[in-house]
Amino acid sequence: MNRISSPQSICHFGIAREDITPPVGIYHRMWGAASHDQSEGVHRPLVATATYFRSTAEPSHQDQLLIAIDHCLLGYEEVEMLLRTITAKTSMDREHISLTFSHTHGAGLLNMDRESFPGGELIPAYLEQLATTLAEISAAAIADTTPVNITYGVGRCNLAANRDYFDPQLQQYVCGFNPGHSADDTVVVARVSDANRQLLCTFVNYACHPTTLAWDNRLISPDYPGAMREVVERETGKPCVFLQGASGDLGPVHGFVGDTEVCDRNGRQLGYAVLSTLETLSPPGTAFQYAGAVVSGATIGTWQSVPLDSQDELRLREWQWDGNRIALPYRADLPDTATVEAEYRQLVLDEREQQALGESEKAADSRALAERKKRMLGRLQCLPPGKSFPHQATAWRIGDAIWLTVQGEPYSELQTAL
């Protein structure tokens, strides 16, 4: 082998970003164990980034809008509202829009079913503004497209660890660091450069739950992706877009704390791994080729970067798109809404009674268990009727790379198998 090249893509691309930090005081309780309901400050701002991909073929009917949002999750109705606003503004086919969440647990739980909770009165206006902002940056990204080369690289980072730990005392699995199981440590980096080889942005795909900050944290935070972006953007001067990987079974070794410095340290760890990977990439539009021997103290074999040939460029422009809904059967033990509603109301009553009796520890447990039931209700209420759930998966291939988005929190086996 006398010629190698980094995986690359050639397409049209646009990007736009905006701050989406909620107002301080908005409902914030993401953790069942949290004793607070409302945010009390901001650790780092939340951002949303719209990126637009289009084939170089004209006319192109298989474009893709990928929007990365610093939030944990939103409910079905909330996502539908965002998509309606984006499609109205951009005329994009809804199937070609992917909303991806960083999955930070420090942004708050901002679904409409929390409107009656402390700080929940701020949620409707915030979601309306979020929808407007996402629509505006999507339109801006589409309007400002340019021909680009995307070059990909793979690095390593041991920030993430398996989080399925068996507690021998409880005789059950808990969600926490499991030192006895290996974890996917892959960092995938994509460098986007314009026709003049000038950097436009970087993408980072890494699988690790943003759960550094937990129930003791009262600040709005993007968790570790915030500090990661800061490290990368300080060096590159261009936007860094974080895309959460298949992290259902992965979380940070040092997590579930209230200390923002631990969070920033986790982010810096990933950020430096990203920068290291970026430095390994060949210049855009080139391959690395053997250039022959040079007689010296030893006979040296030399290599150099050479431009890609026309056949390579044709391959890198190849574009395929596919969107599928996979029917996943509902679990046989899925509870009914009425039962969960009754259990929720009973736990709320238990908490009040325990607080009145001064049984603070029992009251805290009841409060956390009530939160579990509340979230289960939310999930049950948005399930489509029938015997299966239409699980959305979208894939688009550009040249040497396949971009894949899926719903939910898949385990890392999905990503490592692919």
DSSP annotation string for 72-125: S---HHHHHHHHHHHHHHH---GGGEEEEE---TTS----GGGTTSTTGGGHHH
Average pLDDT of 199-219?
Answer: 99
The neighbour count for residue 299, using CB atoms within 10 Å, is: 8
Q: Are the C-beta atoms of residues 221 and 155 closer than 8 Å to each other?
A: no
- Name the residue ranges covered by the structural domains of the chain: 3-285+315-328+386-417, 331-381
- pLDDT, residue 62, reads 81
The answer, yes or no, to whether residue 418 has pLDDT greater than 90, is no
- pLDDT, residue 86, reads 99
The answer, yes or no, to whether residue 321 has pLDDT greater than 80, is yes
Q: Is 0.85 surpassed by the pTM of this model?
A: yes
CA distance 138 to 179: 42
C-alpha separations of 87 from 93, 112, 138 in Å: 7, 21, 9
For 315, counting Cβ atoms within 10 Å of its Cβ (0-12 exposed, 13-18 middle, 19+ buried), the class is middle
- pLDDT, residue 382, reads 86
| Residues 41-83 pLDDT 10s | 999 999 999 999 999 987 777 899 999 999 999 999 999 999 9
CA distance 71 to 393: 20
- pLDDT, residue 12, reads 97
Return the minimum-mean-pLDDT range out of 16-20, 144-148, 389-393: 389-393
Confidence of residue 5 (pLDDT cuts 50, 70, 90): confident
Residues belonging to the chain? 418
Report the candidate in 246, 72, 70 with the shortest Cα–Cα distance to residue 160. Answer: 246
| Residues 135-183 pLDDT 10s | 999 999 999 999 999 999 999 999 999 999 999 999 999 999 999 999 9
pLDDT, averaged across the chain: 96
The alpha carbons of the chain give a radius of gyration, in whole angstroms, of 23
The answer, yes or no, to whether residue 375 has pLDDT greater than 80, is yes
DSSP 8-state code for residue 405: E
